[in-house]
Structure 1
């Protein structure tokens, strides 16, 4: 099983406009609302790839109800911890030039009792999961949740025998690294902040990866958008990955689909090269998806042989 933990889920609302004019009235051409938050995208992509998925998250109000309904309809098992605060709504505005503007709400305040119930739900899921389970901790933390929450959950999951992937940022990422996850997936900006080092090329990327590994993470996959991925682990040579070229519909959720590919590969015990091929193919497939995380398995299968892998030094 793949267990996706979401501390700060959202309903994502995608708006399409001819052009976005700041400070003026903008007419919306079309709108869509769908389950969001990084963990939801990961869960949906992993489900498409044929894995059993459990999603655990904090949900409140009608938006929370809608997220749970959509995930269940997708075939995902859901454990929801109800909150007094209404689950947030994020906006994604796409203009005719393909430019994407995201407006993200912070999320509602989490009360102490809700935090306790959330931790209990995670504990029970980790302990009940079968051998070889993979736990994905992804997304931001809401107000009221300690910045080291993902670090605590990482340790809890590893103690239960699960593999752990973390995809977050800032202080939450720093704390999680110290708890020794099996993989972290920062983008360039997140890696620079976590490693306190600038990244201008491959050598810089490898140095940043080494810093983050030395702090605790067993493996690091640094994502560089269209420039691909750089991977380094404690027991393998660095690997550089060039994804297949595709006609991009939207890049929102591509990193999450990449994480899903890694989670599935980890569950299936694939080697690093095969894992990276699957992860990169999933990320590219998400570029072609009409909604984040809702990739198509056939497209992943078609793209996987076009992922270029080369060993580093």
Structure 2
């Protein structure tokens, strides 16, 4: 089974405003509300690709109820922990001449709620996949990723981590199955600016040396690179298309990789599927659909 954890899910209020003016009344030309959070995005896209999975995480208040409802309406299986107080956050994604975001804080997660999460992940078994994605709320321990991986260490669960900075670096000693920074995040890790695929490959190999088994680097319009645990390198240019949405494209890559890998445990197939799925979300108003993914997949070599 595949599990995703979203510590701080959200309702994503996505609006488009033609020529947004700061300090003025602006009217939308498009608006939609989706359940949000990196792990939830992965679960939604996996479901779109007909891959069974369970979304874990914490929800609170009326916004939390709506997050769960919308996720279920999109076909997701959820097993969220309902917090006793607070409300799940609302994130505003403004699309205009530039994309801007206003992200809420989210509710506090107490010790009892965290203990419930530990109890749920105790049921994971060898061969299961767990996706740890995104930032963590201030109410949780800074090393929560490490604590979770440590609990699963002897079960041979395949861990996928999509996080930034120390949250990512600190789990490398546990040899996660896959990590997926983008090229900006990769540059932040090594305090450099990455401008091409060869530089991404060099630093991806550095992360391999530091413990990651497989490293997938997304590079937006410059495509993607992938370095495997056997030190094989795969490169791809981005498919041609008009980018209308950057929200969830990286999460979609993670989902695509999982879907592709589960077909026959082939890394090249997983990589191609990840590129197609990330691009399918980037070229769509919402997250990638199976039809759009396979339409793009035939153009990836």
Q: Structure 1 length as normaliser, TM-score? A: 0.90
- Which residue of structure 2 aligns with residue 18 of structure 1? 18
Moved more, 230-239 or 212-221: 230-239
- Does structure 2 conserve the Cα–Cα contact (< 8 Å) formed by 1:37 and 1:139? yes
- Which residue of structure 2 aligns with residue 264 of structure 1? 259
Moved more, 5-14 or 153-162: 153-162
The DSSP-based 3-state class of the residue aligned with 1:268 is helix
- Which residue of structure 1 aligns with residue 294 of structure 2? 301
- Which residue of structure 2 aligns with residue 48 of structure 1? 48
Matches of 1:45 and 1:180, distance apart in 2: 25
- Please state how far the C-alpha of 1:231 moved relative to its aligned partner: 1.0
- Does structure 1 conserve the Cα–Cα contact (< 8 Å) formed by 2:261 and 2:267? no
Map 1:1-313 onto structure 2 (within 5 A): 1-83=1-83, 84-95=85-96, 97=97, 99-124=98-123, 126-127=124-125, 132-291=127-286, 293=287, 295-308=288-301
Higher relative CO (CA 8 A, sep ≥ 6), structure 1 or 2? 1
How far does the alpha carbon of each residue in 1:178-214 deviate from its partner, in whole angstroms, 9 at most, with x for none? 2211000001121122234432333321221122112
- Does structure 1 conserve the Cα–Cα contact (< 8 Å) formed by 2:196 and 2:222? no
Moved more, 42-51 or 104-113: 104-113
How far does the alpha carbon of each residue in 1:50-92 deviate from its partner, in whole angstroms, 9 at most, with x for none? 1111000100011110111112222222111112221111010
Matches of 2:251 and 2:37, distance apart in 1: 9
- Please state how far the C-alpha of 1:22 moved relative to its aligned partner: 2.0
- Please state how far the C-alpha of 1:3 moved relative to its aligned partner: 0.9
Matches of 1:54 and 1:132, distance apart in 2: 15
Structure 2 unaligned regions, length at least 5: none
The DSSP-based 3-state class of the residue aligned with 2:221 is helix
Q: Structure 2 length as normaliser, TM-score? A: 0.93
- Which residue of structure 2 aligns with residue 311 of structure 1? none
The DSSP-based 3-state class of the residue aligned with 1:186 is coil
- Does structure 2 conserve the Cα–Cα contact (< 8 Å) formed by 1:158 and 1:164? no
Structure 1 unaligned regions, length at least 5: 309-313
Matches of 1:81 and 1:280, distance apart in 2: 32
Moved more, 144-153 or 33-42: 144-153
- Name the Cα RMSD after superposition: 1.8
- Does structure 1 conserve the Cα–Cα contact (< 8 Å) formed by 2:174 and 2:211? yes
Matches of 2:36 and 2:222, distance apart in 1: 25
- Does structure 2 conserve the Cα–Cα contact (< 8 Å) formed by 1:108 and 1:143? no
- Please state how far the C-alpha of 1:158 moved relative to its aligned partner: 4.8
- Please state how far the C-alpha of 1:132 moved relative to its aligned partner: 3.2
Distance 1:143 1:286, change over 3 A: same
Q: How many residue pairs were aligned?
A: 300
How far does the alpha carbon of each residue in 1:209-241 deviate from its partner, in whole angstroms, 9 at most, with x for none? 122112211011111101011111230321111
Matches of 2:154 and 2:261, distance apart in 1: 17
